[in-house]
Chain A
């Protein structure tokens, strides 16, 4: 069987109407993602990176162009494409195991197979022993692990991650980055990670896509040829990070007022842009 998870984004454009005036969120975005690739997307806020992920997920179908997964045009959400949001978005009245099992609700598995998949994925994300905990009993990092398990449990060809680690503290974030990498390697699936953290993008990605705002478009694509496991502090990775950062900065150095305001509204990004050294 051919490897699943080949994603093709074909001249995708999207407009919103903001108080009557059209706003170009995405403008003719072209992108091809190989099966099993780990692709990361960075960009200033308003560049449409989250919108792009929502279109791929099938949550929003009012756009021009095509999103094609393994030869099939995307027209609606499907269990082939898992989506993890910035917030864990767990159902508060269900336990961790029940939340993860939601991912299999419409997968057509028998109860035994479902239970097995759920407990396997709970172990995979390191939540063993917490299957019966309710979301309010979990820390932010644990809740996000549960959300990742829910996105993965159906073994989708593509996992879409919309800044899933953005709200976590630095230590938890670093740990979950390694976990994501390990899961990606273990499952062999295609991952698309949207982030505002350039270091994260370079550390995790096979390729890093830099998007520019107004209209949202791809400004640059960087290959990250470094073998895994990678060393966060390696000079080669740091050099690449600086290149990506420079490309990112270039996307927002147009008319300053609006661009600057948007960067400043994202503290983590502001830090990276203005204080690139660690």
Chain B
């Protein structure tokens, strides 16, 4: 509790500095609008401009891309980690491809999939996929050969070996990958809203604010993005701790 409070000290100080700078006219309020204006805009956006609908659209798209990317990532990482042939055939290419910055794919994806929801989801999926594949792969590789021997003496089938030994023993590593995927997916989601501006979403709000030179709207958008990112991270840590409670602390 005390630690949680300590974590809020810096944000509160920053907000206070922002507020006083704006009121003391140290900064042009048009560049840095005061907090109450941002709050007022927030209320107005919620009541009259459908902010919550935009937020829901962003979150839904994020979850869709994240879920597809994570599931595909676990499947691909499992196959690469357990099959020597798949590893030799595909791992070098995968390692090459992942060196390309995720944003570099935007032009290609928008030509292949347009600039609508489908393209955005593909982009988010690609961002989520990479850390999950890598961490699942590493987790599978790290399975204990001693436990594999136990599984053999207990006559595990191939399927039992994967579901009862390799997947659970890779779980801590997979969880790390999924956690990263959550963060990357949210970043990619914002990126997709910036670069493919058609459709609802918080990113569109920020772009609109910039175009109309409404910094209160921009600030509101940024605060929401940050807050959602923070909550996603918190949620992921809690789920991880629950899933991995068998581990010694």
Contact = CB atoms under 8 A, between A and B. Distances in A.
Interface of A: 57-59, 76-79, 81-83, 85, 87, 89, 91-94, 102-103, 105-106, 134, 136, 150
B246 A85 contact: no
A228 B235 CA distance: 60
B155 A79 contact: yes
Contact of A106 (B155, B168, B246): B155
Contacts of B149: 59, 85, 89
A93 B164 CA distance: 10
Interface in B135-174: 146-147, 149-150, 152-157, 160, 164-165, 168-169, 171
A91 B153 contact: no
Interface of B: 146-147, 149-150, 152-157, 160, 164-165, 168-169, 171, 246-248
A83 B146 contact: no
B218 to A, nearest CB: 46
Contacts of A150: 154
Contacts of A93: 168-169, 171, 246
A162 to B, nearest CB: 11
A94 B247 CA distance: 10
Contacts of A94: 246
A92 B246 contact: yes
Cβ-closest 6 pairs across A and B: A136-B248, A93-B246, A83-B153, A93-B168, A134-B246, A77-B153
Contact of B247 (A82, A83, A105, A136): A136
Contacts of B147: 89, 91
A150 B168 CA distance: 19
A78 B146 contact: no
Contacts of B247: 92, 136
A52 B146 CA distance: 17
Given A87-B146, A89-B147, A106 B156 contact: yes
Nearest to B157: A106
Given A78-B155, A91-B168, A102-B150, 20 more contacts: A57-B153, A77-B155, A79-B154, A79-B155, A82-B153, A83-B153, A85-B146, A85-B149, A89-B146, A89-B147, A91-B147, A94-B246, A102-B154, A103-B154, A105-B154, A105-B160, A106-B155, A106-B157, A106-B160, A136-B246
Nearest to A91: B147
A87 B150 CA distance: 11
